[in-house]
Amino acid sequence: MTAEATPPATSASLTARQAWTRARGILIALLLILTGAVAMAAIRSHSVHGELDPRSADPYGSRALAELLADHGVTTRVVTTPGAARAAAGPRTTLLIAAPDLLSLRQQAALYSATQSSGGRTVLVAPGAWSVDRLAPGVSADPVTSDRSTLAPECALPEARRAGSADTGGIRYTTSLPGADACYPSERLSTLLRLPTGSGGGDTVVLGAPDILLNKRLDQQGNASLALQLLGSRPHLVWYLPSLDDASLTDSQAPKSLFDLLPSGWLWGTLQLFFAALLAALWRGRRFGPLVPENIPVAIRASETTEGRARLYRKADARDRAADALRAATRARLAPLVGVPATQAHTPEVLLPALSAHLTDGDGQPAAHSLLFGPPPTDDAALVALTDRLDALEREVRRP
């Protein structure tokens, strides 16, 4: 009786060092993704909180400008609904729209209609192509923003000439409207436009960047002078802060898909996770390398290997593969018995004529062809029958 060999304890198990070596790449990648997400969230929270809000003292707020306007006798009132913004428009009022691109099509059209007949001033802060076509018809927004922040006025607008250089670099605009003042050009496109609108001395100012309104940039260049002149021409300033939380800004008639309802951050995050998973899969696949043979630490009987392979064939319903293996093995054993070289054992034109000479039935060549080279069996019963017929054929050939 032979005792079975016991494999070493380390043959199939991993040590702590090996587990760390294999998993450290994925863990480091996940840590970097998490760190990047936290950093982006922190930066976004600092930049969005109180942005362009005249009540906020944050670096991105505008409280310093509101205090300066108050010192010059200009009152500042914050509104957060489009209805209040339309009602506030008037000849003695400057209406500032902090985020025009958040407005729906209907809200943009209603605000434009109200400001055209008000006789006051409307200031649009960094409107893109989505909103500038409706809030300032005749003006086109260039998709490429200015690569310079501080620009010279280079126009005849008195407010710009008195302020001098200012941080207006941002979205660039073009217009062919008569009487328009195009200031602070960047590569021949303006970053500030003043357009006469309607009747009664009203006008619209299109500002390419919000920098001159921010607390952290107000004391630089001529930002404070330009902002005070643009927003202090009337005794009342209405500061409209559109928000995504305002349900009235949504266009109920426009159908929304699932992707329209998802915030852009979720889409970008999902895309980043997809690429991270793809890179991790490529890295791990290359690290594993090609398959290599390994010496088995114990001797395995041939019958166990055969039974294991048969179970795999049965689990996969691979009757065709099993039949091919049985036929190939039978042909390899029959070839030397009938005088056929091993290299031609699987060639019907050579094997079958030699085999027919050893069969008692002289017309058995077609039957042998169907048996040794025929189609795969259709069910398990046919596979068992094929096995029996192959055994019978081999016994007949071996019979003296």
91 token code pair: 């000849």
Average confidence score pLDDT of the chain = 83
Task: Tell me the pTM.
Answer: 0.54
- 100, 125 Cβ separation under 8 angstroms: yes
pLDDT at 140 over 90: yes
* 93 and 213 co-located in one domain: yes
Domain boundary among 216, 249, 282: 249
* Domain presence at residue 12: no
Q: What's the pLDDT score for residue 2?
A: 42
Q: What's the pLDDT score for residue 248?
A: 54
Domain boundary among 223, 249, 275: 249
20 token code pair: 């760390």
Q: What's the pLDDT score for residue 173?
A: 95
* Residue 320 DSSP class: H
Q: What is the pLDDT of residues 71-106, one digit of tens each?
A: 999 999 999 999 999 999 999 999 999 999 989 889
* 104 and 200 co-located in one domain: yes
* 104 and 212 co-located in one domain: yes
Q: What is the pLDDT of residues 163-183, one digit of tens each?
A: 999 999 889 999 988 889 999
Instruction: Please give the Cα distance from 226 to 160 (Å, whole number).
Output: 6
Tell me the mean pLDDT in the region 217-240.
94
* 103 and 196 co-located in one domain: yes
3-state secondary structure of 191: strand
Q: Which residue's structure tokens are 């800004």?
A: 249
Instruction: Please give the Cα distance from 350 to 380 (Å, whole number).
Output: 30
Instruction: Please give the Cα distance from 75 to 92 (Å, whole number).
Output: 11
* Domain presence at residue 261: no
3-state secondary structure of 207: strand
Torsion of CA 5, 6, 8, 14, to 10 degrees: 130
Strands 189-196 and 203-207 turn out to be antiparallel
* 337 and 188 co-located in one domain: no
Instruction: Look up the domain containing 334 and give its range.
Output: 318-398
* 245 and 354 co-located in one domain: no
* Domain presence at residue 3: no
The residues near 349 (Cβ < 8 Å, ≥ 6 apart) are none
pLDDT at 255 over 60: no
255 token code pair: 């159908």
pLDDT band at 310 (very low <50, low <70, confident <90, very high): confident
* Domain presence at residue 245: yes
* Domain presence at residue 92: yes
* 326 and 245 co-located in one domain: no
* Domain presence at residue 346: yes
Q: What's the pLDDT score for residue 162?
A: 95
Q: What's the pLDDT score for residue 216?
A: 92
Q: What's the pLDDT score for residue 118?
A: 84
* Domain presence at residue 96: yes
382 token code pair: 């046919």
* 241 and 326 co-located in one domain: no
128 token code pair: 């893109």
* 242 and 143 co-located in one domain: yes
The residues near 213 (Cβ < 8 Å, ≥ 6 apart) are 52, 62, 65, 125, 227
* 202 and 114 co-located in one domain: yes
* Domain presence at residue 48: no
Q: What is the pLDDT of residues 377-387, one digit of tens each?
A: 988 899 899 99
Total number of domains constituting the chain: 2
Domain boundary among 215, 249, 283: 249
Instruction: Please give the Cα distance from 175 to 114 (Å, whole number).
Output: 22
Instruction: Please give the Cα distance from 395 to 46 (Å, whole number).
Output: 88
* Cα 59 → chain centroid: 31
Q: What is the pLDDT of residues 182-206, one digit of tens each?
A: 999 998 899 999 999 866 778 999 9
Q: What's the pLDDT score for residue 67?
A: 95
Please write down the HEC assignment for all residues of 39-93.
HHHHHHHHHHCCCCCCCCCCCCCCHHHHHHHHHCCCEEEEECCHHHHHHHCCCCE
Q: What's the pLDDT score for residue 116?
A: 87
Q: What is the pLDDT of residues 99-137, one digit of tens each?
A: 999 898 899 999 999 888 888 999 999 999 889 989 999
* 230 and 323 co-located in one domain: no
* 214 and 328 co-located in one domain: no
